[in-house]
């Protein structure tokens, strides 16, 4: 079942879709491109939100506005910050029905505390971390830092757009060759420059690799 692990389809909750109409069109386009399971991952920034509970309430209200809710699972793209692992109710930001949680590394030079937060969230809450768009960080992190991140017990999410870039495509192919656990997502935000782009992935990526990505969702279903 083709699965989009990362997108911003909920209306007016973050920098993604700005209205119900856009959201409905984004979902319809994903369906047309063959996506059968959608993980909605609205941005979550601990320093901005009053609480996880308030965020979940806003997210649910936005979700209720969608016309087509079939096989849409709610999650969040959680920004890694100092002390994130100590945030009350953080485990509730896991992808609905699974033990998977999508975390976003900071766009700044790597520091050891980032890996510590990843480890703590996994160890304390029994969650499996997915690190968002790992291919983007080569311009911020050294090669050694990238290797450190790849050494975490995480799943690595790749945006479909990476297959449209020579450098990023080669990086992703290296990860595939070395058998890292990878999942794919459109990271779509709108119907323009950041539209759903599964046609690109299906053209550029092997069927077996995509099927492996899809399988992680079922492997990590919560008991």
Q: Tell me the per-residue pLDDT of 171-183, one tens digit each, with 9 for 90 and over.
A: 999 999 999 999 9
Q: Tell me the per-residue pLDDT of 78-98, one tens digit each, with 9 for 90 and over.
A: 999 999 999 999 999 999 999
Q: In angstroms, rounded to a whole number, what is the distance separating the alpha carbons of residues 8 and 184? A: 14
pLDDT classification of 216: cutoffs 50, 70, 90:
very high
**Structure confidence at residue 222 (pLDDT):** 85
Show the beta-strand stretches assigned E in 45-120: 72-79, 100-104
**Structure confidence at residue 132 (pLDDT):** 99
Q: In angstroms, rounded to a whole number, what is the distance separating the alpha carbons of residues 134 and 105? A: 8
Mean pLDDT (whole number) for 187-191: 98
Q: In angstroms, rounded to a whole number, what is the distance separating the alpha carbons of residues 17 and 19? A: 6
Q: Are strands 182-185 and 72-79 parallel, antiparallel or unpaired?
A: unpaired
- Fold of the domain built from segment(s) 3-219: TIM Barrel (3.20.20)
Whether pTM > 0.95 for this model: the answer is yes
Contact 106, 78 (CB under 8 A): no
């Amino acid at each position: 079942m083709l699965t989009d692990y990362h997108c911003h389809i909920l209306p007016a909750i973050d920098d993604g879709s700005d209205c119900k109409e856009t959201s409905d069109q984004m979902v319809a386009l994903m369906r047309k491109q063959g996506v059968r399971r959608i993980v909605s991952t609205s941005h979550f920034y601990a320093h901005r939100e009053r609480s996880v509970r308030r965020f979940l309430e806003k997210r649910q209200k936005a979700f209720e506005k969608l016309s087509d809710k079939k096989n849409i699972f709610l999650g969040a793209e959680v920004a890694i910050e100092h002390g994130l692992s100590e945030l009350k109710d953080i485990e509730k930001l896991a992808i609905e029905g699974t033990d998977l949680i999508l975390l976003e590394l900071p766009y700044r030079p790597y520091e050891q505390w980032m890996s510590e937060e990843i480890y703590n969230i996994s160890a304390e809450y029994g969650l499996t971390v997915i690190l968002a768009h790992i291919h983007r960080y080569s311009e911020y992190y050294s090669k050694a830092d990238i290797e450190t991140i790849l050494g975490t017990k995480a799943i690595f999410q790749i945006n479909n757009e990476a297959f449209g870039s020579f450098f990023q495509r080669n990086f992703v192919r290296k990860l595939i060759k070395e058998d890292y656990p990878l999942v794919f997502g459109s990271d779509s935000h709108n119907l323009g420059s950041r539209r759903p782009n599964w046609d690109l992935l299906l053209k550029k990526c092997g069927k077996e690799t995509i099927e492996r990505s899809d399988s992680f969702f079922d492997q990590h279903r919560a008991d």
